[in-house]
Amino acid sequence: MIANNQAGEAKQGATFPLDGQIASVNPQWIYLSIPKAQLKNASLKIDIAGVYQGTISVQQILDKTLYGIPGPNSFNMVISRYLRQDHMETLTNTQKVKFSVPVLPDLPNSVLHLQAVGVSGHLYRSKPVVLGTSSSAMKNTTVFSATKDAPVSVPVQSQRVPDIKYQFNPDHGSVLIADAGRPFWAILGGYFALATGRGGGARQDATSFVKYESDYPKDATQSAPMWVHLDDGNYALQFDGKGTYISLPQGVIPRRAAFTISMDIKPDSVTGKQMIIANQNYYPGSIAVYTEDGVLKADYKGRPDTDESGLDSGLKLPIDKWSHLVIRYDQAGITFEVDGKASKKFAAKGPGLYDTASVVGGFGADWFKGQIKSLEIEQGVG
């Protein structure tokens, strides 16, 4: 087995020591290469004191794409099948090159092209190739028009408008996947860049808690909510009300498009203020939904000067009971719905203030205590 760290230093042998490694918001990559003949019986033994001790089958990673292992203080380790070209030779000095690269597309209809760089520095690109099955079906999508300074409905190919429905089971450990594509995958109690395989953007914002000293509790003992097996055979995530959360990447809650957030939720407590979902990290992005003593409320911040705080739905989330919660935003206003009972529509003009990560479960001093067993964000419809 060969392991490569990010700097390219190779290690030969069965063990990759992590002693002395510095924890960072920037992902640290280790590449492992295993001969095909050994895959069937190959396994990874992980022994990180105070974080995780266990063995994971390599075949499990091949079958599931990736598996996340949470730890304390927003630590996460993700073991992922790597199906991208890490690098090519910088200069071949030949007229023809032949190679094959296994590719696992990030989206159901990813667009790929080949780029070659000549000695002169000139760039050559192939025609783009659209993966998957193309569809001519159209979907009316509400977006904010800067020209009209108002939301408008435009027809968009339905496959380009994501419906992000997270799979609620522990098959992928601390990673929540969705058929909409890897750019939308979430992580339990950590940095979503490990799940998406992409960077977090400016200000190292692959988390909702860029300012840990003020936005995350110092006394939190764990950051990942725990998987709970329900009586009906399904799974839920248990939030402890002290610092457990799900981190969602930028783009899950869109800044300039309508969206509908829905989830099944069961509070264990209704005391005080409890943040349910917030499009926020270093700065507020747009919407924050929370309860105050069980009453469902929201804040919204948009450009240039929209600041709607304490929007009171009048609806309650009952304690120790599953409720189906829906929040609709159409770039003009917000509507709440609990078990089919809808609130009035509250004016909140778009677009959102910033493109940011989002968090489910808490922010600052306000943390949700209870269970969530589904989460879906449909874009373009509010």
pLDDT tens over the chain, length 382 residues:
233 344 444 444 567 776 666 666 666 777 787 888 888 888 888 888 877 888 889 898 988 889 999 987 778 889 888 877 766 767 778 888 888 877 888 898 888 888 888 888 899 999 998 888 777 889 999 999 999 999 999 999 888 899 999 999 999 999 999 999 999 999 999 889 889 988 765 555 678 888 777 899 988 989 999 999 999 999 999 999 999 999 999 999 999 999 999 999 999 999 999 999 999 988 899 999 999 999 999 999 999 889 999 999 999 999 999 999 999 999 999 999 999 999 999 999 999 999 999 999 999 999 999 999 999 999 999 9
Options 3.40.50.1110, 3.20.20.120, 2.60.120.200, 1.10.630.10; CATH of 159-379: 2.60.120.200
- Give me 318's structure tokens: 């009952």
In whole angstroms, give the CA distance from residue 221 to residue 131.
Answer: 43
In whole angstroms, give the CA distance from residue 80 to residue 76.
Answer: 13
Element (H, E) at 200: none
> What is the pTM assigned to this prediction?
0.90
Report DSSP state, residue 89.
-
In whole angstroms, give the CA distance from residue 193 to residue 74.
Answer: 13
Is-contact 290 300, C-beta < 8 A?
no
Closest CA to 29 of 46, 4, 11, 54: 4
Measuring CA to CA, how many Å separate 281 from each of 12, 79, 156, 183? 40, 26, 30, 18
- Give me 66's structure tokens: 């990736």
For the chain, give every domain's residue range.
2-80, 159-379
pLDDT for res 4: 39
- Give me 355's structure tokens: 């493109």
pLDDT for res 84: 73
